[in-house]
Structure 1
Amino acid sequence: MAVMWSRLTCIGLLSRGQRNLSIFSNPSPSYWNKVVSDAEKIVGYPTSFMSLRCLLSDELSNVAMHVRKLVGTKHPLLNTARGFVYESRNNLQMRGLVVLLMSKAAGPSPAASEQLLPDMVSGIYPSQRNLAEITELIHTAFLVHRGIVNLKEWTNSDGPLKDMQFGNKMAVLSGDFLLANACTGLAQLNNTKVVELISSAIGDLVQGIYHENSNSTEESNLTVASWEDQTFLSHGALLAKSCQAAMELAKHDKEAQTLAFQYGKHLALGHKVNSDLQPFVKRGTDPVPFSLDSAPVVFHRQIVGPERWLQQLQQVKTITRQMDHTKLWEAIKSEKGVSQAVDLCCYHGNKALEAIKRFPPSEARSALENIACAVTKF
């Protein structure tokens, strides 16, 4: 499964030609950091480096030694590695933390055996902690694989071609290693329902990547509804299904599993919309490049219609046929696409709150409520 996912991911990314990798986009960093810090205290230990055991293994230590060869180039793998080391407190390596908080908020179920209760640490079963680590490993592998460079777009300013080729190999191998460890840990949980859930989440990630590839062109007819479906696959399925799996491990009923799934789904979607909005809502900054399949652009394209959208694209093209993001940014800001994206972000944040409020009051539930509120702040 690990090899198949890696190959499909690599093929999809190389066809897309995505060279910039941004995995640390946060709403209001100072507020977000406080929410995360408070939440980590509740579950018993910091989870920013939850996959540290795997990251410091002999195999990946050897990879890290080789990655040093990429210093001085623009290969995304270097930025990914740097982000894990220096910016762990500022990223959304939050999936494991959310899984742990959800586990503690739900607590033991009436159907759970009393013999298992002494195994709980800070109100969380060992199997749920293992699941949280597995979730982080899958997400990390996904990020590493997304750092593959389309060599057809390589330029001399990126660095020597041989180094870029080497970086791609390292991205594939290290991502495969992380995913293989995640699959091994998944099997050791000895729960077929959980294996099915997380395996389907990996499949969703692959499908989401292909959707992104097919809808990343200027002529894309991506609607808001299809954007949400696509975003769920590539950004929400893993968190949603991991939250549901945590309930399954504690033998909670279908209602609790559904609520946990809904919280993870809407939290992930709300965070993605928030991330897409950052180039349009940051104060005191100049326009920055943004994706043409981001939420505000999709709303804008739907508002103005396909013909006017193509006209706007032609108007912002420079003599060299390059996109003038400043002019396009101004055109999008002049319409209601940004405000509608803000409304969508708030909608998903509120839906996440609705789901988590169905759980009993506790510190863990309050922390999950704070996280849901944080994704709606700009």
Structure 2
Amino acid sequence: MTSATSLFSPVEADLRLLTENLKQLVGARHPILYAAAEHLFGAGGKRLRPAIVFLLSRATMPNQEITAKHRRLAEITEMIHTASLVHDDVIDEAELRRGVPTVHSSFGNRVAVLAGDFLFAQSSWYLANLDNLAVVKLLSEVIMDLAEGEIQQGLNRFDASLSIEAYLEKSYYKTASLIANSSKAAGLLSGVPAEQAQHLYSYGRHIGLAFQIVDDILDFTGSSEALGKPAGSDLKSGNLTAPALYALEEKPYLEKLIEREFAHEGDLEQALALIEDSRGIERSRELAAHHAQQAVQHLSDLSPSESRQALIELADYVLSRLY
């Protein structure tokens, strides 16, 4: 299986610089926020979102060096993503993220909420300083979408009548919007035509959806060690994802367990067994593969390059996390 590290080798130096810059951007003025930022940016995430921004920046500027604005866009993208994770962890009362204690479990809820707000505010400030209205609009929309996704998820807890379409819409808001809009923004900073910028948006949208669906499958099939959080935690909290929604079509009793919010002893274990015994996981894999294939089709008008190849292979990498 290809690792994210080898996949991102065309932009390895860009990502190293990004990590250094992120710590400096947060600045040492607020020691507690700086400690939180060090904790976040040092937690060794995959850096998937900035890597896509860098790869698309290089793929759309084939014989030129990428600009300082491309680099700043990648930093803003990671800041927005990190801010949303900090807030998500507070809402979900999660103790671990990538196997590392979350900001609120290390520093308390107040600092975590403020750290998230601070990162959103910082990213907005750096965004405005790009002096590119189209890019500002794209990434401002992402910040709205993240909140919309979180609200939808909160309102739909334990709702067994949720449709796959509604699930995909929420997944777009929570995950794919940032990847789609920052992909398009990278193209706009490179000066690509409007039609091509739209293809980059579609690439990011489909990759983002595939990534989220795979994450949701892993919540059922991964080990707690690999996930960095307890397995089955989405279902337990009432967040119904593709495997559960597909399983509901085959296993009517699952609806009863969900609607009573796993109140009786053994309910959650029974629900997990019903999902495992259905085609829910298999159909979710097919859905993820569909979106990964769709993503690749939107790269056809980019000229061949190492970065374009990495973007194509990324679609396989996203799916390979399941095996």
**Pair 347,289 (structure 1): closer, same or farther in 2 beyond 3 Å:** same
Unaligned runs of 5+ in 2: 95-103
Aligned to 1:58: 28
User: Given that residues 50 and 96 in structure 1 are in contact (C-alpha distance below 8 angstroms), is that contact kept between their aligned partners in structure 2?
Assistant: no
Output one character per residue of 1:156-209: Cα deviation in whole Å (capped at 9) or x when no partner. Answer: xxxxxxx97971110111111111111111111111111111111111111111
Matched, 1:260 2:214: no
Identify the residue that residue 106 of structure 1 maps to in structure 2.
60
Whether 1:291 and 2:263 are equivalent positions in the alignment is: no
2:110 matches 1:169: yes
Aligned-residue offset at 1:312: 4.6
Q: Which amino acid aligns with 2:189?
A: L
**Counterpart residue number, 2:277:** 334
Equivalent-residue separation in structure 2 for 1:258 and 1:355 (angstroms): 9
- Give yes or no for the alignment of 1:196 onto 2:137: yes
Q: In terms of mean alpha carbon deviation, does 191-200 or 44-53 score higher? A: 44-53
Q: What displacement does 1:247 show?
A: 1.3
Please say if 1:135 is aligned against 2:77. yes
For residue 231 of structure 2, give the secondary structure of its aligned residue in structure 1: coil
Long gaps (5+) in structure 1: 1-27, 68-79, 109-116, 154-162
Alignment-derived partner of residue 18 in structure 1? none
Cα gap change, 1:314/1:172 in structure 2, threshold over 3 Å: closer, same or farther?
Answer: closer
Q: How far apart, CA to CA, are the structure 1 residues paired with 2:177 and 2:15? A: 26
Match of 2:291 in 1: 348
Structure 2 residue 170 is the aligned partner of structure 1 residue 216 = no
Q: Normalising by the residue count of structure 1, what TM-score does the alignment of the two structures yield?
A: 0.72
Kept in 1, the 8 Å contact 2:217–2:284? The answer is yes
Using the alignment, how far apart are the partners of 1:342 and 1:333 within structure 2? 13
Aligned residue in 2 for 1:186: 127
Q: What residue number does 2:98 align with?
A: none
What secondary structure sits across from 2:161 in the alignment? coil
Number of the residue aligned with 1:8: none
Q: Aligned with 1:335: secondary structure?
A: coil
Report the counterpart of residue 189 of structure 2 in structure 1.
249
Contact 1:349–1:372 (CA under 8 A) maintained in structure 2: yes
Quote the offset at 1:59 in angstroms. 3.4
The one of the two structures with greater contact order (alpha-carbon pairs below 8 A, sep at least 6) is 1
Partner of 2:212: 272
1:365 is paired with a residue whose SS is helix
Percent identical pairs in the alignment equals 26
Q: 1:253 to 1:323 in 2, by over 3 A?
A: farther
Residues 308, 50 of structure 1: alpha-carbon distance in 2 compared, 3 angstrom cutoff = farther
SS at match of 2:89: coil
Match of 1:239 among 175, 179, 197: 179
| Deviation of the 1:242 alpha carbon | 0.8
Alignment check: 8 A CA contact 2:23 2:41 kept: no
- Counterpart in the other structure of 1:22: none
Letter in 2 for 1:31: S
Structure 2 SS opposite 1:247: helix
Larger Rg: 1
C-alpha displacement at 1:39, in angstroms?
3.8
Aligned length: 306
Change (3 A) 1:360 1:33: same
- Whole-angstrom distance in 1 between the partners of 2:265 and 2:19: 39
- Aligned AA (1:200): E
Rate the CA distance shift 1:339–1:284 in 2: closer, same or farther, 3 A: same
- Is 1:94 the equivalent of 2:48? yes
Q: What SS does structure 1 have at the residue aligned with 2:90?
A: coil
User: 2:3 is matched with which residue: 31, 50, 70?
Assistant: 31
Which letter does structure 2 place at the counterpart of 1:254?
A: A
Match status 1:229 vs 2:169: yes
Contact 1:247 1:257 in 2 (8 A): yes
Distance in 1 (alpha carbons) for counterparts of 2:84 and 2:257: 34
**1:124 maps to what in 2?**
66
CA distance in 1, matches of 2:38, 2:205: 27
Conserved? CA contact 1:48–1:93, under 8 Å:
no
Any conservation in 1 of the 2:160–2:259 contact (CA below 8 Å)? no
RMSD between aligned residues: 3.3
Residue 245 of structure 2 aligns to a residue whose secondary structure is helix
The AA in structure 2 aligned to 1:95 is R
Q: Which secondary structure does the structure 2 equivalent of 1:189 belong to?
A: coil
Say if 1:349 and 1:373, in contact at 8 Å, map to a contact too: yes
2:199 is matched by which residue type in structure 1? L
8 Å contact kept, 1:215–1:221: no
Corresponding residue to 1:365 among 301, 308, 312: 308
Q: 1:321 to 1:184 in 2, by over 3 A?
A: same
1:130 and 1:200 map into 2 onto residues whose CA distance is: 18
Compared CA separation, residues 50 and 294, structure 1 to 2 (3 A): farther
